[in-house]
Structure 1
C-alpha cells in the first residue's frame, strides 16, 4: 500500500505539472498579460525556486518527516491553482499567484525522489521502476491538457491542473496513513543541511554533472520548436518528436533500472553525459525527421539514466538526514541558473555563428562529461571509505 500510494502521488503531481508547463504561457496571454511582459515573468518564475527549494529541503531534513512537509506544500500549491480561477482576479494578483505556484511546485519533486529512494531501499533497480511513474504522469497530463485546450479552451486546463493536484494530495494522505508514525529516532544534521552538504565534496561533481545534463535540455524546450517550424516541420510532427522523447524517458527508467543495478554511479553518469552530448550533436547536424526521432531516443539517457545515477550517488555518499537537500540542489541548479545560462548560450550561438542552438548544448553536456569523469576518478582514488552511512 505504501508504494502504491507513493506512485499515485508522484504520478498525479507530475501529471499536474505536465498540464501546467506547456500551456501556462498561452493561458497567461489569454488573460491579457502583455507579450512583452511574459519573458520577465517567466524569468521570475524560473528563479523563484532558488529561494524556496533550499528552505523546504531544510525543513524536511531537519524534521525527518518529508512527507509531512510535502503535504503542506502541496496543499498551498493547490490553493494557488484554484485561486487562479477566481472571478475578477486582477492581473497583478494573477501574476503573484503564478510566481508563487512556480516557487512551490519544484520544492516537492526533490521530496518525491527522497521518498522513492527510501521506498526502494538499497535497490537501484527499484528506484528506477518507481520513479518511472512520474514521467508517465507528466506525459499523461500533457496529453490531457492538450485535448482540453483543443476541444474546450485554455481555462479548463487550469481546472485540470487543480483537480490533478487535489487528487495527488489525497494520494499523499493515503501514503502518510500507510506509513504510520515514525518508529525510529531521527537525528538531524549537526549543521544546517546545506552546510552539511557543502562538507561532502565527493557529492558535488555528480550533482553538478547531473544538473548540467538537465540544463542542456534548454534549447529543446524553448527555441527548437520555432527552429523546426521555420524549417518546414508541421506542429503535428514537432509534437510527435517531443512525444518520442518522453516515451524513451519512460522506457529508460524501466529497462535502464537493470543497468543501474549492475554498474557504478560514476560509470552510469558518464554514460548518460556522453549519450546526451551525442544526442545534441546529432540534432544540430540535421533537421531530417527520422534523424531527430532517433536522437530523441537519447532522452532515456538524458533524464532516466542521469536521475538514477544521481540517486545512486546520493544513496551511497550522502547521509539520510541531508538527502532532500541534495536532490533539491540538483533541481535548483539544473532548472535555475544552469538552464538560464544554457538558454542564453543557445541564443548567442545562433546569433553569432548562425548554428543550431543544439550545437551550443554539446559543450554543456561535454562539461558534464568532465565532471562525471572527475567524480569517477575521485571515487576510485578514495575507495570504499568515501561512502557515507545513513
Structure 2
C-alpha cells in the first residue's frame, strides 16, 4: 500500500504539466509563430522522439531499477522548460524542443510500466486508480495557471511546470522498489524483432492503423483548440477553467474504466472511448461556441479515461515477456511521433488555410474511421493473448 500511495503522489505531480501545456500554443503565438511553424515544431520533436523512445524503453526493460532514468528525465525536462521560456525565435524554440524530446521521450512508457507493476495482483486497484491522480493534478494546476498567467504572464507557467518536474524526481525516491527480474534476451532481440513479432498479431496491426488515423486527424484539435477559444473571445482564466473541467470527469472516469476493463475487456472499452471522441468533435462541428467547447471538454474527460486506461492495459496484455516498456515506447511514443511528423505540419497548414473550425469535421471523420478499423480488427469478448518470449 505504501508503494501505491507513493506512485499516486507521483502521478499527481505529473499533472502539474497542466500549468503549461494548455497554454503552450499561446506562448508560440506570442512569439510570432504561424500555425505552420507551430506544426513544424511538432514534427521536429516527433522525429527526435520516435528514434530515442525505443532505446529508453529497452534500457528500462534491461536494468533492475529504472527509477534513475525517470529522475534524470524529469530534471532535464525542468531545465529545458526554463530555457524555452527565454527563447524568441523559431530556431531557438526548435532547438529546445529537440533537446526536450531526447530527454523525456521514455518517461511515459517507464511511468506506465511502474504503475502497472504496482497494481499487479491487486483485486481492487487498477491502472485507472493511479492515473486518475494525474488528472486531479492537471485539473488543479491548469485552473490555477490560467489565473496566474492573467496576472503575472506566461513565465509563471514555465517556472511552475519546471518546479513540479523537479519535485516529482524527488518523490520517486520515496517509492519502494523491488529489484525486478530482468528477462534475458538474445543478442538479435532488437526493436525490429519486436515489430516483426507484432506484425503477426492482427489486433496489434489493427491497433497501429486505427491509432495512426485517430492521432493524425485529431492533432489539429489538440494543437489549436486553445487558440480557437481565444479567437472566440475566451481569456486565459476561462481557458484554464475549461482545462480543469475537462480533467475532473477523469477522476470518476478512470475508476469506471478500470471496472469496465475487468468486466468487458480492454479492447471493448478502447472502442467506446474512441467512439466518444467522435461525439465530442461532432458537438463542436455542429454548434461552434465557447459553451459547446467547454461542454465537449467535459465529455472528452470520460472519453479519454476509457481510451487511455484501455489502451495501456491492452498493450500490456499483448507485450512479450520482459518487453513491456519497449512495447509501450513503440506504440505510445514512436508510433505516435511518427504520425505527428506528418500530422503536425498538415494540421498547421489546415489551421492557416481553412481556419480552426474545420479541424473538428476532420476529427469526426478520422475518429469514426479509426473506430471502424478497430471494430473489425479486434473481435471476441476479451483480449486473451499469453505473454510469450520473442
TM-score by length of 1: 0.81
User: Shift of the alpha carbon at 1:60?
Assistant: 1.4
Counterpart CA distance in 2 for 1:165 and 1:3 is 20
Query: Which residue is equivalent to 1:104?
Result: 103
Query: Which residue is equivalent to 2:268?
Result: 267
**Structure 1 pair 129/214, CA: closer, same or farther in 2 (3 Å)?**
farther
Greater relative contact order (Cα 8 A, min sep 6): structure 1 or 2?
2
User: Shift of the alpha carbon at 1:197?
Assistant: 4.1
**Structure 1 pair 97/224, CA: closer, same or farther in 2 (3 Å)?**
closer
Computed over aligned residues only, the root mean square deviation of the Cα atoms, in angstroms, reads 3.7
Alignment check: 8 A CA contact 2:60 2:66 kept:
yes
| Gap runs ≥5 in structure 2 | none
1:157-176 matches, cutoff 5 A: 157-175=157-175
Query: Which residue is equivalent to 1:248?
Result: 249
Q: Deviations over 1:92-146 (max 9, x none)?
A: 7765334312442342011111111111115695111111112222333323433
Counterpart CA distance in 2 for 1:64 and 1:218 is 36
Q: Deviations over 1:182-201 (max 9, x none)?
A: 4x453347611452243122
1:317-356 matches, cutoff 5 A: 317-332=318-333, 335-339=336-340, 341-342=342-343, 344=346, 348=350, 351=353, 356=358
Alignment check: 8 A CA contact 1:10 1:133 kept:
yes
Counterpart CA distance in 2 for 1:365 and 1:49 is 24
TM-score by length of 2: 0.81
1:128-143 matches, cutoff 5 A: 128-143=128-143
Counterpart CA distance in 1 for 2:247 and 2:220 is 16
The yes-or-no answer on 1:195 pairing with 2:196 is no
**Structure 1 pair 18/10, CA: closer, same or farther in 2 (3 Å)?**
same
Alignment check: 8 A CA contact 1:209 1:371 kept:
yes
Q: How many aligned positions are there?
A: 380
| Gap runs ≥5 in structure 1 | none
Query: Which residue is equivalent to 2:387?
Result: 388
Q: Deviations over 1:267-302 (max 9, x none)?
A: 112211222122212221112555444433331343
2:364 alignment partner, one of 357, 362, 365: 362
Query: Which residue is equivalent to 2:116?
Result: 117
